[in-house]
Every structure is written in structure tokens, then in C-alpha cells.
Chains A and B, each alone.
Chain A
């Protein structure tokens, strides 16, 4: 049973964006990192996920993060804090660029990458939260498409999701 659940419907026409919701997710993670984070998305881009223009997140990010902070930079910081990152994407050049960038931020000991041609779901999952819905973690997903995303704080749901992911894409 969810402790907290929020559905976010993004719409560029109405200026409804996911940024604020994701900012809360990643700020929470930077405060108390999950041992494992799963990112499952057919396509993924190095989109900005935190806006540090006002330096609100300095205390969480440390020095050197000014303005919009990219996905790979936040994930790199989480890996520094001890999180193991699991990434499942389609085998594609677009995703390879993201993986190359991510590899520069994250040591191989904290990175578990899977390529799945038939992956369709889009989910982010930490130790007690799940973000899932129709949106790829790409620029179009964030800025252009109308999407519906559910953000749930639910330790049981997160654990069940991890069991499912680990079964489909076992960590070597």
C-alpha cells in the first residue's frame, strides 16, 4: 500500500513539467542514497534533472554544480555516495552516448548496464520509491510530449519492482 502517491500529467501547452517532481526524488536520494537505483527506459538522454541556478542544492551536490545539473552528474554523485546504478536501455547509438557520459562519472564497480531490445517500460526505482509511466527519460519526454507519470513512495512496491528487474536483468 502506497504511503504517498502522485500522478503528474505533463503538458508543454500548460507549462506542466516533471522537473519539480524529479527534483524532489533526486534531492531525497542525495540526502539518503538508496543502496541500488534502477533506471529502466528504452531511451535515455543526459537531460537536466536539477536546477541549481540559485545554488539551492549546493549542500547536497558539493562544489562545482552551477545552473542546470545533468542526469549523469547527479547519478555520478549518487554513485560516489555508494549507490549501485542499474541501467536498462535499448541497444542504440543514442543510448550509447548517454552510457559513455555516465561511465565518465561512475566507476564500473557501481554501474550495471543491460541492453534489452524489447524493453518498453519506463521506470526509476530506489529503495522505497518508484517513478513510472509513459515518459522516456529524454529531452522529448521532458520538453515536448504530453506524458503521464506516477510517483509513489511505497517500500513494498519498490522491493517487488527490484525483484522483477533483477530476475529479468540479473546483476553479473
Chain B
């Protein structure tokens, strides 16, 4: 029995009623034949396979790798999404304990299969007709010649920008692209750790199979910090450092860790985050390391809670310190020492080469930085985009560097940065720009520039970041009403025209924005997509938690979710660290939507660590209300009737 036959025997075995006798020569088996051809012939085209449980037949659309799954997303959107079946564009998290899904996992791995469940018999027939047509067209499509790979540097800058912009799915796609583009396995592992750290996925980070090798490989500071901080958060968030028994227990745990994480607790300490320093403190206490304790004590901004632990080892009296405003790190003389310096040296230094975390916030040099960026020549435009990720990471919510954001927006428009992942970054830059309440002429210039280019970015594939952009404009101070209307019409009209390709919640949001911005457009918001018109029983009474550091986004998302799902309880959180209230909300939530842009890893990690086992946790694909609403809506859809 070859691999294909083995897979089919399990896929159509227990847990799937489509072919109970496994007779591939019978009537049903013969109807299945064209669907099985890619597998039997060894061609790597996506598989579309049925799975029936009781009265429901799901379509499993199985891709051979994540890159193929990413490219198929838009095709599925075009063929079946929303007209016949709800589709949020996310691959299904397959259950290895389920025999059918376990077989798919063994065949192609995780994050490569979509599961489509039609809402009823009428939609099911239409969905399968459309999928059949899609299958035939894909099978008849000539083999694609691989495109010339994009430069690694460009992909890396896009990756950092996507991560900083809170574009979780985009950063995952770029990581897959980097994996196929020749980036070394070691650097790929470092980026994977950095991404999980940035998203607050502490448990997932610490469960990486290659973590031991990453630790032993001598990782860079950013990765070292990510691993130590994840460990510190996971072990310590609920642990008062004043309790010696609990401290000892946590210290023993890190010393016993088989991946050797304890080896990362060493000098230099100056660039480590507070969460990572907590882990280092535990190591110092656990092995009575006086030298390490003295190094910790010498840090001017070591949290007092940690400092209070050190006299046990150093013998020095405790000195309470205030947080200093000076940077911790003295930079190497060769590296740029400020944001403005970096702009003049973009050709020589990437985001991985500079320690921008030690610099004063961009807002301190906003005008100079914007002027320097406006002077960037064609040859350096690509490298200048390296600044975007760190700039967004360094953004101070209360003091936006709006002139710099404007200069980067102009750079994006000048050099055609309208790819799907770029649009999420452009949205984050627009939000920074608008938060700065720019004067009317600057406001008009940027909104008109974006409106002129709307044909490039206001397309169905970019629905979420595009609607996030419109929502940013709608909720921000307005200094030119006409410019705002021109922008709204240019941005919303393509979505109104293609409204049938949008999910119900996004059509509804489009209608809300149209009304708010006085842009009269048709949206035809349908009733909920079920044959019976009834709400999903599991969703009634569900508890939702949404997290973002942007209060405006949080408020608007909560208000709209309350209108969209009147029988769902929505709690909001914007804490920077774990709190008893956040713990209670996380534990009680059925669905958790996280906007990860500028999120505090301590809080997102805390939420994940305290969420109930059955909770659906979804990262928004952008930083705005549209992304957060879509994340919650897809999470609620996942709560639909369980497989039986």
C-alpha cells in the first residue's frame, strides 16, 4: 500500500461517512475519482475532499505547503467565500486526535488545509459545484514557472514591518516565503522565535522542537531576550517575588529545564526586557550566582521587585530607584546612534544591525527624521523601508511622530508599496499620522495621495487593512471634510461594488462607515448566512474578550460587536501587564481577539496563559476595528456546532 492509498484509507475511514465501505470502485467511489487524481498521480495540486459527519458534508481543501495555502486563499475567496459558505481565510487548526484530521496533518503538516462548512443543503450544492469548477480549472492550469525570488533584504524588512503593524497572518506568510528563499535555517529559527515572542505566544515558543538548538547556537540579543522573557512570563506572572517558596520553585524549574535556557542568563544584561530580567534573577537566586546578582544590581532601571531579591546574594543594601530616562546602552561607535543617523546610513545597517530600542523615541526628532526621509534617493528607497518595523515598534501612543509617518507614507506611495502585506503596514503608518492631528494641508495631502492610489490598495484581497484605514480616518480628528469624503468614496466604492464577495460582518461595517462618513454607497447587508436564519446556538451567551492598546479601536470594536452580536458579552482590555481583572476576563472568555500591534507581550502572553483550554484565540490581521471585528466573528464561527 503506497502513501496515497494509506492516506485515503484513513481519510475515508472512521469519522467520515462519505465512503463507509471504502469501495473506491463503487458508484460513490467513481464519483470521487477526479478528486483523488492529484494524490494518486503525485501532482502537487490542492486536493478537495469531502467529509461527512451525520447530515453535514464539509469540504477539506488540502494544500501541500503553507505557500500554496496562502496563494489558494484568494482563489477560494473568489469561488465560494460568503456567497455559499463563511470563509475567514484562515487554514483550519487540525486536531491530531481526530483520525481524519490526523491523516491530513501527517500528509501535509499544519496550517495548510481549509475546512469549508456550508450553512445548509441549498448552499452545500452550490458550494460543491463551485469547488468542482475550481478543481477542474486548477488541474488544467499549466505548471507555474517559479517567479524570480524577491531580494531577501526586502522580504526581511517587510517581515519586521508586518510584525510591528500587528499583521499576524502576513508575518507568518513572509516567514514561509523567507524559508523558501534561501534564508539560512539558523536565521529562520531566530525569526520564528522573535515572531512568537512578539505575538506573546509564550507556550508555543517554549514548545518549539528546535528551541534547545536555538539556545545552544548562541542566539542574538533579541532572540535571547524573547526566550528568557517567555519563560519568565509563563512562570512568574502570577507569582509574587516576595514569596520565597514560590521563587525557589520557579528557580528550580528554570535550572532543570532540559533545553538549557539557563545558559542564556548571562551578561550582557543591559538590553534585556523586565520579563527576561526576572528569569535571570531567578537563575542568580537558584544557583547562588553572586557575580550575576551583582551585574543585575548594577542595572539602573532594574525593577524594584527584582532588586529586592538581590541583597540575599550580594549583601548590599537595597536601594529603591526611579526609572531613569536615559537609555541603558552605550552603542558601538560604528553603529548609527539615532533615528536620523540611521536614515543617512540605511545602505549599511538593517534593523538587525542597530539597537534602536536604546534611542530616544522617534517623536523626539520627528521633524529632522521626516526631513531626512524626504531626502532619500531612489537607490536607498528599498533600504529606507527597513525603518518602518522599528519605527512602528517604537511608536508612543500618546506622542505620535506623525511627520515621520507622513514621510514613510509618501515613500510607500512613491515606490509602489501596495502589496497585501504592505497595505497593513501603510494602515499602521496612517493611524500614527492621524493620531498626531496634522494640520489641514498635511491631512489633505496624505488623504488625497491615498485616494489617488485607491485602485492599487482598495481591493478585495486587502479588505481588512483597507477598512481599517477608512475606520482610522472616520474616528480621527478631521481638518478637511471634503478631503475626508474624497478619500472615503475612493476607498469604499470598490468594496461596495464587490460587496457580494465580503462576509456579512464586513458588509455591515462598510455600511456603518458609509453612514458615518456621508459616503452614500450600497452594501445590501444580508441576514445571517444560515438556511434557517437562526443564530448558532453555541454563540448565544458567549463571552468575548478583545485586547488592544488603542482605546479608540477597542471602544469602536466593542460597540460594533455589541450591535452585530447582541447576545454576546464583550469585555475590553488594554492592560500593559497582567492584572487580576485581566485574568478573570481571560479565564471566562470563549473567544479572544488580540490586536498585536504595539501590544505588550506581557499582557498578550498573560491572556494566553490564563485562557481556558477551549477558548478560541485569534490574532487580528491588522490594528484597526475591521480586523478585530473579523477576528472575533471568525472566532465565534469556530464555536459552531462541534463535530459529532
CA distance A166 to B213 in the complex (A): 10
Q: Which residues of B contact A158 (CB under 8 A)?
A: 216
Q: Which of A156, A164, A167, A168 contacts B216 (CB 8 A)?
A: A156
Q: Which residues of A contact B215 (CB under 8 A)?
A: 159
Q: Which residue of B lies closest to A162 (CB)?
A: B213
Q: Which residues of A contact B566 (CB under 8 A)?
A: none
A155 interface residue, CB < 8 Å from B? yes
B210 interface residue, CB < 8 Å from A? yes
A31 interface residue, CB < 8 Å from B? no
B218 interface residue, CB < 8 Å from A? yes
CA distance A34 to B381 in the complex (A): 48
**Dominant SS among interface residues on chain B:** helix
Considering the complex, which residues of chain A in the window 32-88 have a beta carbon less than 8 Å from any beta carbon of chain B? none
A159 touches B184 (CB 8 A): no
A160 touches B188 (CB 8 A): no
A22 interface residue, CB < 8 Å from B? no
Considering the complex, which residues of chain A in the window 87-141 have a beta carbon less than 8 Å from any beta carbon of chain B? 128
A144 interface residue, CB < 8 Å from B? no
Asked, given contacts A167-B185, A167-B188, whether A160 binds B210 with beta carbons under 8 Å apart, the answer is no
Contact bitstring B168-208, A, C-beta under 8 A = 1, else 0: 00000000000100001110110000000000000000000
A155 touches B216 (CB 8 A): yes
Contact bitstring B389-406, A, C-beta under 8 A = 1, else 0: 000000000000000000
Please give the distance in Å from A34's CB to the nearest CB on chain B.
12
A163 touches B214 (CB 8 A): yes
B210 touches A156 (CB 8 A): no
B214 touches A159 (CB 8 A): yes
Q: Which residues of B contact A155 (CB under 8 A)?
A: 216
Q: Which residues of B contact A160 (CB under 8 A)?
A: 186, 213, 217
B185 touches A168 (CB 8 A): yes
Q: Which residues of A contact B213 (CB under 8 A)?
A: 159-160, 162-163, 166
B210 touches A163 (CB 8 A): yes
Q: Which residues of B contact A156 (CB under 8 A)?
A: 216-218
CA distance A155 to B219 in the complex (A): 12
Find the residue from A158, A160, A164, A168 having the highest chain B CB count within 10 A. Answer: A160
CA distance A128 to B217 in the complex (A): 10
Q: Which residue of A lies closest to B216 (CB)?
A: A159
Q: Which residues of A contact B189 (CB under 8 A)?
A: 163, 167
A-B pair count, CB < 8 Å, reads: 36
Q: Which residues of A contact B185 (CB under 8 A)?
A: 163-164, 166-168
Q: Which residues of B contact A168 (CB under 8 A)?
A: 185
CA distance A155 to B263 in the complex (A): 12
CA distance A166 to B218 in the complex (A): 17
Q: Which residue of B lies closest to A166 (CB)?
A: B210
Find the residue from B210, B212, B215, B217 having the highest chain A CB count within 10 A. Answer: B217
Q: Which residue of A lies closest to B106 (CB)?
A: A172
Q: Which residue of B lies closest to A172 (CB)?
A: B106
CA distance A155 to B210 in the complex (A): 14
CA distance A97 to B107 in the complex (A): 29
Please give the distance in Å from B3's CB to the nearest CB on chain A.
12
Contact bitstring A143-168, B, C-beta under 8 A = 1, else 0: 00000000000011011101110111
Considering the complex, which residues of chain B in the window 24-43 have a beta carbon less than 8 Å from any beta carbon of chain A? none
Contact bitstring B246-283, A, C-beta under 8 A = 1, else 0: 00000000000000000000000000000000000000
Q: Which residues of A contact B216 (CB under 8 A)?
A: 128, 155-156, 158-159
Contact bitstring A1-45, B, C-beta under 8 A = 1, else 0: 000000000000000000000000000000000000000000000
Q: Which residues of A contact B188 (CB under 8 A)?
A: 167
Q: Which residue of B lies closest to A170 (CB)?
A: B109
Please give the distance in Å from B152's CB to the nearest CB on chain A.
16
CA distance A159 to B217 in the complex (A): 5
CA distance A164 to B190 in the complex (A): 12
Find the residue from B179, B185, B189, B213 having the highest chain A CB count within 10 A. Answer: B213
Q: Which residues of A contact B212 (CB under 8 A)?
A: 159
Q: Which residues of A contact B214 (CB under 8 A)?
A: 159, 163
A164 touches B184 (CB 8 A): yes
CA distance A168 to B210 in the complex (A): 13
Q: Which residues of B contact A159 (CB under 8 A)?
A: 212-218
Please give the distance in Å from B384's CB to the nearest CB on chain A.
31
Considering the complex, which residues of chain B in the window 551-579 have a beta carbon less than 8 Å from any beta carbon of chain A? none
CA distance A51 to B168 in the complex (A): 56
CA distance A156 to B179 in the complex (A): 21
Please give the distance in Å from A116's CB to the nearest CB on chain B.
15
CA distance A160 to B215 in the complex (A): 10
CA distance A67 to B578 in the complex (A): 65
Q: Which residues of A contact B186 (CB under 8 A)?
A: 160, 163-164
CA distance A158 to B210 in the complex (A): 13
Please give the distance in Å from A114's CB to the nearest CB on chain B.
15
Q: Which residue of A lies closest to B189 (CB)?
A: A163
Please give the distance in Å from B513's CB to the nearest CB on chain A.
44
Q: Which residues of A contact B218 (CB under 8 A)?
A: 156, 159
Q: Which residues of A contact B210 (CB under 8 A)?
A: 162-163, 166
CA distance A159 to B190 in the complex (A): 13
CA distance A163 to B212 in the complex (A): 10
Q: Which residue of A lies closest to B212 (CB)?
A: A159
Please give the distance in Å from A22's CB to the nearest CB on chain B.
23
Q: Which residues of B contact A128 (CB under 8 A)?
A: 216
CA distance A164 to B188 in the complex (A): 10
Please give the distance in Å from B413's CB to the nearest CB on chain A.
37
CA distance A81 to B211 in the complex (A): 23
Q: Which residue of A lies closest to B188 (CB)?
A: A167
Contact bitstring B209-229, A, C-beta under 8 A = 1, else 0: 010111111100000000000
Please give the distance in Å from A87's CB to the nearest CB on chain B.
18
CA distance A127 to B236 in the complex (A): 30
Please give the distance in Å from A157's CB to the nearest CB on chain B.
8
Q: Which residue of B lies closest to A171 (CB)?
A: B209
Please give the distance in Å from A101's CB to the nearest CB on chain B.
26
11 CB contacts below 8 A, A to B, read A128-B216, A156-B216, A159-B215, A160-B186, A160-B213, A162-B213, A163-B185, A163-B217, A164-B184, A167-B188, A168-B185
Chain A positions near chain B (C-beta within 8 angstroms): 128, 155-156, 158-160, 162-164, 166-168
Instruction: Give 7 closest A-B pairs by Cβ, nearest first.
Output: A167-B185, A159-B216, A159-B217, A156-B218, A159-B213, A164-B185, A160-B217
Chain B positions near chain A (C-beta within 8 angstroms): 179, 184-186, 188-189, 210, 212-218
7 more contacts with CB within 8 A, not counting A159-B212, A166-B210, are A159-B217, A160-B186, A162-B210, A163-B185, A164-B186, A166-B185, A166-B213
